[in-house]
Structure formats: structure tokens, C-alpha cells
Amino acid sequence: MKVIDLRSDTVTKPTTKMREVMAYAEVGDDVYGEDPTINKLEQKAAELVGKEAALFVASGTMGNLLAVMTHTQPGNEIILGKNSHIFQYEVGGLAKLAGVQARTLDDSEGIFSTKDLLSAIRGEDIHYPESGLVCLENTHNKAGGVAIPKNKIDEISKTAHQHNIPVHLDGARIFNAVTELEEQVIDLVAEVDSVMFCLSKGLAAPVGSILAGTQEFIDKARKNRKMLGGGMRQAGILAAAALVAIEEMIDRLALDHDLAKKLAEGIDSKVVTLESVNSNFVILKVNEQLYDTKGLITELDRKGIKVSQFGSDLLRVVTHKDISKEDIDRVIDIFSEL
């Protein structure tokens, strides 16, 4: 039985082409700046998002942490959504490793309001920490994969900049946002100072993320990456696969979004109802009179379908390149048989 793994797009396997180019990638010592494939990836990634420079990092978590460390000083306060990945799911690295405290705002809809931002920005007072950074997320994971439109990103960025506060965008799934909004990525991230995006989620590279920003910012971030132990050597092997990810895997994300819609249209059954569908995320509400949520996850697992829990009575179902139309049909059938 083929397991249909819908827990996350992080489970995507590298493509055959990725494995081939990895085998023959030209490499060098990247800590000396001498890995030609890494250099090519960083240049292409910077051009792709319209920033001066980019840095290949081990993970999205490392990219976000580097952004926080590089934009701020220890003792600063950073402003971010209370449901943001950086606040919820990055092991408190912002406090422990960057030495900043978090000021969290309501981002239930995916982004906080300008009004809330303004009330959180610190003025001059002997008691206050300095507001060092604003962080946004697109697509927003905990809000159900919702894509944040350009005007909202721009408005928050403008307000932060008026107070001399830089803005970092956690764009782990920025290309899903671009696909959903039918925007150009360069426009969508034009007003933020730095952006991180993941190569290893929907884009299916085996490892890595990109942090992009000004040349000066990336130079500093590169040194911080070394401090964290993230200076890699013949990393061109990984960059080769990442180049395939950005050259060949972005345009196909629309297929994942289509599959999410297809699933959303067919899924209502006795056991679950559709809560939301955005980008490649489908959120389902469990009918707890029939199944408790954990019990349903176990039952689905027994039938070869993996989904993740997303709240007390919610399931998260994520489509990606290793999921086919037939898989979605089977998932719909299995739900209706429960």
C-alpha cells in the first residue's frame, strides 16, 4: 500500500534531476567563498527575489535566526505575530541565541494591523527596550497557509520604516504566496529588508533555505552563520539540487494548489468538515462526536494516510509534488467510508 503523506510539504523527495546534478556538481570550500555552485545559487536566489545578495543556510529556522541576530542587538525587542513560526516553533532561539525579547501581536488572520504595530513600537523612555525588528510571515502557516497580499506587507513595512525599524519576512513558502496571489515575487518582497525562503518544502530540494537582503546585511549574516556552525564546505552538492528547485519547481506549485482545492471540494463527510483551503493547505474540522482528533489520525494512518493535528479538533492536510490526483481521490474515498 502506498502511503499518502499529507502531513507537510517538507516530506517531498528530491527529483531525479536533483540527484543527477548533485552527483556531478562542481564544488570548492564555501567558507573560503570558493564553491562555484554555491556562488551561482546565491547569485540566482538574490536576483530571483530582487535583493542585492543571498546566503544559503541549513534550514528555515537558521535563516530566521540569522535575520533576527543580524538586524538586532541583544536586549532589543522584536515585534511579531503571536502565531508566527519564529515565535511558536523555533525553540526560543530568538531569546537564547539572539538575546532579544518578543512582543507578540494578534495575527489570527495572517498579519497584524498597522494600528497594533503602532501601539507596540517603543518610544523614548528610560525603562524601555528598543524595538529592533518587525517580522512577518507569508504564506502564514498557523493561519492555514493564507497568502498575505502585497498592500498589507507594504503598509506594515512602511510604518516600521517610518520608525527606523527593519522588517524581516519569513517567506518559508513565499512561492506559494506568489502563486496564490498571482504576483511577482520581487514585488511581493520589495518593501521588506530581508526575506527567508525554503528550498526543501514545496520546491523539493533535500536541504536548505535562502536568506536574502542587502550586501551589507548578508556579509554580517554570513559571519553569524559561521558562528552558529553553519559554515559548510563542499556545499555545492546541496546547491546543485537547490538550483533545480528554483529553476524548475516554482511554476508547478499551482498544481499543488489545484489539488488542495480538489480535496477541499470533495472532503465534507460524516467525520470532517472543511474549515479552510488556502494555497497548498487544507484545514479540516473533526466531528468529535464520532472521532476524537488523535483517534482519527491513528485510524487514517492505519489506512495509509498521514495528516497532522493543527489544533484541538483540526487536521492539517498539505499537498505537494509527491501527491497525485489519484491520491486525492483515494483520500476522499477513505474519508467518506469512515
Ligand X SMILES: *Cc1c(COP(=O)(O)O)cnc(C)c1O
Q: Where along the sequence are the contacts to ligand X (CB under 6 A)?
A: 59-61, 64, 85, 137, 141, 170, 172, 198, 200, 209
Q: How far is the CB of 170 from ligand X (least distance, A)?
A: 5
Residues 6+ away with beta carbon under 8 Å from 151: none
Q: Toward ligand X, which CB reaches closer, 100 or 174? A: 174
Q: Which is nearer to ligand X, 211 or 271 (CB)?
A: 211
Tell the smallest beta-carbon distance from residue 10 to ligand X (Å).
6
Cβ at position 143, least distance to ligand X in Å: 10
Nearest distance from C-beta of residue 60 to ligand X, angstroms: 2
3-state helix, strand, coil in the chain (%, to 5): 45, 20, 40
Nearer to ligand X, 145 or 236 (CB): 145
Closer by beta carbon to ligand X, 72 or else 200: 200
CB 246 within 8 A of CB 91: no
Select 64 or 76, whichever has its Cβ closest to ligand X.
64
DSSP state, 163? T
> Which pairing describes strands 305-306 and 281-286: parallel, antiparallel, or unpaired?
unpaired
Start-end of H helices in the chain:
16-24, 36-49, 60-71, 85-88, 93-96, 114-120, 150-162, 174-181, 185-188, 215-227, 236-248, 253-266, 293-302, 325-337
Which residue, 131 or 141, has its beta carbon nearer to ligand X?
141
One-letter amino acid identity for 295? G
DSSP helix/strand/coil, 315: strand
State the nearest-atom distance from the C-beta of 324 to ligand X, in Å.
23
Provide the pairing of β-strand 314-318 with 281-286. Answer: antiparallel
Minimum CB–partner distance for residue 196 and ligand X (Å)? 7
Nearest to ligand X by Cβ — which residue? 60
Question: Which own/partner pairs from 148-151 qualify as long-range (CB within 8 Å, at least 24 positions apart)?
Answer: 148/110, 148/111, 148/177, 149/181, 150/181, 150/183, 150/187, 150/188
Q: Smaller CB distance to ligand X: residue 37 or 141?
A: 141
The minimum distance between CB 1 and ligand X, in angstroms, equals: 28
